A and B are shown apart, each in its own frame.
Chain A
Amino acid sequence: MSDNPVSPSHEAADAAQVEAIAKYLESSRDMIERLQALREGVHDTLNEQFQIVAMDLEQLRGLLGDAASKLSTTFRVITTGTSEMQTALDEAMTSHETDPLIRIREITSNMTSTTGSTIQSLQFEDMASQLLAHVNRRLSALQQFSKEMSILNAGSNHLPPFLTQEELDAAFASLARHRDLLQNDVRKAVQQQSLDSGDIELF
């Protein structure tokens, strides 16, 4: 055993150890940066998707509100018309004047127009169903995404998990795949914000 604690062999060993530590710190820094980028990607994706879901639900609220308002109006017109028609019929049966009959014709015409408005408003059901299906498809994709990203959950010591390069690569690939799916494959078929009649085009 040498008396000199800093012999050349010790120096070489120390240098190797320092180099190993430096390499480890470098790779840890790289890992932390990639983890941070992954977390930001997940956060941005979730935030963006939840905003889309919130907009769908707001659109749905608008369509339902519009339908309820229009149907309430047509309901009032129909019930009032029915009552007025009954009165006019009673008058027509007890008199020989034509005024009640003219009035009945006016009411009938008004109710025909109101029926058209009712038909238009009742179509909210079809649009609402499609919007809800769109929300459901998006939520299903998000649920799967959340499951695949659970690898990022902190452990019981609240520290970020240690991931291998392969696990990180797989997580980034999953993020890219889900972003693409949510942006391109989950198509939205309903753009209407109200129950006004849509465009018509003859080819």
Chain B
Amino acid sequence: MSKTALVVDDSATMREMVSYTLKQAGFEPLTGGNGQEALDKLTGQAVDLIITDLNMPVMDGLSFIKAVRARDEYKFVPILMLTTESQADMKAQGKAAGATGWLVKPFNPEMLLQVIGKVVPK
């Protein structure tokens, strides 16, 4: 049975690139254009991994992670932030919100899959 991943980014190109990479690793990707849209899609949906951008309209990545972590069923789902932001204070905010890891764009597909291999249980 394939694993499911939720990809959240306001850039359609980014959603497509991440989804393509995840499919290569056997994931079934779901996508959302911002935090709120992703939360709506998440309702009642089991996911094995979440990859989210930080700066997005409507609901940003930090608020999204906090909302996800507030739901019992998603407390331990690995959440990777994939963002252009690289400042230490932003990373600290991500960690405090409940992110599992921080990747600075642009991502290299091979390296992304290596990170996923480390955070998603086999």
Interface, chain A (partner B; CB < 8 A): 115-116, 119-127, 129-130, 189-192, 195-203
**Docked-complex contact A199 and B13, CB < 8 angstroms:** no
**Docked-complex contact B17 and A123, CB < 8 angstroms:** yes
Nearest Cβ on chain B to A119's Cβ, whole angstroms: 5
On chain A, the residues within 8 Å of B107 by CB distance are: 120, 123, 197-198
**Docked-complex contact B119 and A202, CB < 8 angstroms:** yes
On chain A, the residues within 8 Å of B83 by CB distance are: 189
Instruction: Give CA–CA (A119, B11) in the complex, Å.
Output: 14
**Docked-complex contact B86 and A123, CB < 8 angstroms:** no
Closest 5 CB pairs of A and B: A198-B104, A123-B106, A197-B108, A126-B11, A202-B101
Instruction: Give CA–CA (A122, B12) in the complex, Å.
Output: 11
Of the listed stretches B25-33, B34-42, B43-51, B110-118, chain A binds: B110-118
Q: Which of A116, A192, A200 has the most CB of B within 10 A?
A: A200
Cβ 8 A contact of A119, one of B20, B84, B99: B20
On chain A, the residues within 8 Å of B110 by CB distance are: 116
On chain B, the residues within 8 Å of A129 by CB distance are: 11
**Docked-complex contact B84 and A127, CB < 8 angstroms:** yes
**Docked-complex contact B118 and A202, CB < 8 angstroms:** yes
On chain A, the residues within 8 Å of B99 by CB distance are: 203
Interface range on chain B (Cβ under 8 Å from partner): 20 to 34
Query: 30 interchain pairs (CB within 8 A)?
Result: A115-B109, A120-B106, A120-B109, A123-B14, A123-B105, A123-B106, A125-B13, A126-B13, A126-B84, A126-B105, A130-B84, A189-B55, A191-B84, A191-B87, A192-B86, A192-B105, A197-B107, A197-B111, A199-B103, A199-B104, A200-B101, A200-B102, A200-B111, A201-B91, A202-B100, A202-B101, A202-B119, A203-B94, A203-B99, A203-B102
Instruction: Give CA–CA (A124, B14) in the complex, Å.
Output: 10
On chain A, the residues within 8 Å of B109 by CB distance are: 115-116, 119-120
Instruction: Give CA–CA (A127, B119) in the complex, Å.
Output: 26
Interface, chain B (partner A; CB < 8 A): 9, 11, 13-14, 17, 20-21, 54-55, 83-87, 91, 94-95, 99-111, 115, 118-119
Q: Which of B21, B103, B105 has the most CB of A within 10 A?
A: B105
Query: Nearest chain-A residue to B21 (Cβ)?
Result: A119
On chain B, the residues within 8 Å of A116 by CB distance are: 108-110
15 other A-B residue contacts (CB within 8 Å) besides A126-B13, A189-B84: A119-B21, A122-B13, A123-B106, A125-B13, A126-B11, A126-B84, A192-B86, A192-B106, A197-B106, A199-B103, A199-B104, A200-B111, A202-B119, A203-B94, A203-B102
**Docked-complex contact A198 and B95, CB < 8 angstroms:** no
Instruction: Give CA–CA (A189, B82) in the complex, Å.
Output: 13
Nearest Cβ on chain B to A49's Cβ, whole angstroms: 21
Nearest Cβ on chain A to B90's Cβ, whole angstroms: 9
Instruction: Give CA–CA (A121, B13) in the complex, Å.
Output: 11
Nearest Cβ on chain B to A165's Cβ, whole angstroms: 41
On chain A, the residues within 8 Å of B103 by CB distance are: 198-201
**Docked-complex contact B101 and A192, CB < 8 angstroms:** no
